[in-house]
Amino acid sequence: MAPITLSQSITQALANDIVAGRLAPGARLDEQSIAKRFKVSRSPVRDALRQLVSTQLIEYLPRRGFSVARIDRAKLQDLYEGFSEIEALCARLFALRAGSTDRASLELLHAAAKTAAESDDAFAYAAINEDFHAAIYAGARNETLRTIAMEVRQRLAPFRSKFFFQRDRIESSLREHDAIVKAILAQDGKKAAEAIRRHTSRTGINVMKHLSTEDEPAAARPRRGNGRTAKRSR
């Protein structure tokens, strides 16, 4: 797992602010102000903003610069629906085409994810999760599908990432991964596709519910107790 770069750290922080509503649609994103906030030069900030443009969380207009885009829930739901089918096809092909080395690598990633979950290491689990899905795309042995899957996954990353800091989501994600791995190892393409489709669809449902909650007035939201939080890796 490659260490996170400075621009990636800024990208994630800004993405979290946008998804959580702390940066409103239409808000201008000034490179100098952001660089001052993170105490960095403008170069990693510029890279972060370009990355966010690719996720469509922000937009760039000539002579106006960068600004926060409006989150279109209908398009986001469409994106998750299409993504679940792309992943399902990748998992099916992996089950039917992948060799013993690919299967062994997937098992090792799944074992590492279990270790991270048992240690309450949400950062490690999130990183391994990315490697797990990337391994399935590669194991499908279809470069066009792999490229499409990675591009769509990148667009959805800001919405998905925050759920790995909720212990119940890590546990359910691990159970869903277990079903995917068992189907792939059994070379059952149909079950592998069904398992990963359910996995991705559940993530999409959680994201849409979260966005709806963020739109509610504070007084209308249910009060939450202090749950157990995942430990952050040092």
Which CATH number is correct for 73-214, 1.20.120.420, 1.20.120.530, 1.10.1760.20, 3.60.40.10? 1.20.120.530
**In sequence order, what DSSP letters do the residues of 87-108 get, joined into one string?**
HHHHHHHHHHH--HHHHHHHHH
pLDDT per residue as tens digits for the range 63-97 = 889 999 887 888 889 999 999 999 999 999 999 99
The segments of the chain whose pLDDT lies below 70 read: 1-3, 161-167, 212-234
Q: Where are the beta strands (DSSP E) in the chain?
A: 28-29, 58-61, 65-68
For residue 213, the model assigns a pLDDT of 62
For residue 228, the model assigns a pLDDT of 44
Q: Does domain 6-68 have CATH number 1.10.3720.10?
A: no
For residue 176, the model assigns a pLDDT of 96
Examine domains 6-68 and 73-214 and report if their fold is the same: no
Q: How far apart, in Å, do the first and last CA atoms of the chain sit?
A: 15
Q: Where are the domains of the chain?
A: 6-68, 73-214
Q: How far apart are CA 66 and CA 53, in angstroms?
A: 9
Total-model pTM: 0.75
